[in-house]
Amino acid sequence: MSGEKRRLRVAAAQLGPVQIKDERASVVRRMVALLEGAARSGCELVVFPELALTTFFPRYYYENLADVDVFFERAMPNETTLPLFDRAKELGVGFYLGYAELADEGNGVKRYNTSILVDRSGHIVGKYRKIHLPGFAEYRPGKLNQLEKRYFEVGNLGFPVWRTMGGVAGMCICNDRRWPETYRVMGLQGVELLLIGYNTASVNHAADEPAHLRMFHNHLTMQAGAYQNGTWVVASAKAGKEDGHGLIGGSCIIAPTGEIVARTYTEEDDLAIADCDLALCDYIKSTVFDFVRHRRIEHYRLITERTAAIAPD
């Protein structure tokens, strides 16, 4: 690693809304345009959102899972996404892509909320399957629904990291970014570049809360995760009104110091670009969050042994 370039220009490639009637091919054309814009600005890596190819379908109730399978990909790349993979390889740009994965790995058909990391040579370096599935498995009539627990299995790949793009990269998806464990498990593997796609409703399905908290919590959790683990975070939203349902933007690039160094201010197809000097991770990881000097794991057992909080009587 010594001497290898540790600085790379990265783009959070935000997508505006994808309507339920929108063809995947039209979304891929938008993504290729974003990729080309990022490449023109010298970017070597582009992060697209969670479930980038379709509308955020977990907001809808489908009695039969067969009816939701139209939103899933059975292979990646496939005929529809190949133009994105081909153009990225031509331009020498790596990318993170979030999509709904229909997998049959010998133990029956499984559905995952998935992301892949593709390097600058077009090689799929790694895959991640979303672990923290928010919302409910059952439909709640008359309420805002978030049915990821109904449509997706909990991810079965853990929180892996890969040595690529001149550093150590990892991925997570949307609700994962709200849980400190997500960052810490990758932090304990030396992550320096944590890539996130998200679709976050403008109105919280779980609580009636002031609107300003949507963006506040979005950035708060990622800034904390970046700083407490000395990693860059690149996060890309699908944003805007999808068939009347609002999604927040706020795509951003966060330094290991926890500072937002670039962000979008629209809810459309947009790019936030920054130079990520991975060496900036080193001072955080070797001072305030020098894990080996400061962590006391003999006191942390509850974190993995207890799921629900138990308060004293």
Q: Would you say 80 or 204 has its CB closer to ligand ING?
A: 204
Nearest CB to ligand ING, comparing residues 182 and 200? 200
**Nearest residue to 248 via CA among 208, 224, 219, 272:** 219
Nearer to ligand ING, 211 or 288 (CB): 211
Catalytic, out of 43, 44, 101, 130? 130
* Residue 284: CB minimum distance to ligand ING, A: 25
Please choose, from the candidates 154, 70, 85, the residue with its C-alpha nearest in 3D space to the C-alpha of residue 125: 85
What is the smallest separation between the CB atom of 122 and ligand ING, expressed in angstroms? 28
CB of 178 to ligand ING, least distance (A): 6
* Chain length of the chain: 313
Active site residue 174: yes
State the catalytic residue, choosing from 43, 172, 174, 252: 174
User: Residue numbers of the site for ligand ING (CB under 6 A)?
Assistant: 134, 146, 174-175, 178, 198-200, 204, 206
Residue whose structure tokens are 């990318």: 95
CA distance 278 to 255: 9
Closest separation in Å from C-beta 239 to ligand ING = 12
Nearer to ligand ING, 126 or 250 (CB): 250
70 or 213: CB nearest ligand ING? 213
Decide if 43 is catalytic. no
Pairing relation of β-strands 270-277 and 161-164? unpaired
**89 catalytic residue (yes or no):** no
In angstroms, what is the minimal distance from the CB of 71 to ligand ING?
Answer: 14
* Residues known to be catalytic: 50, 130, 174
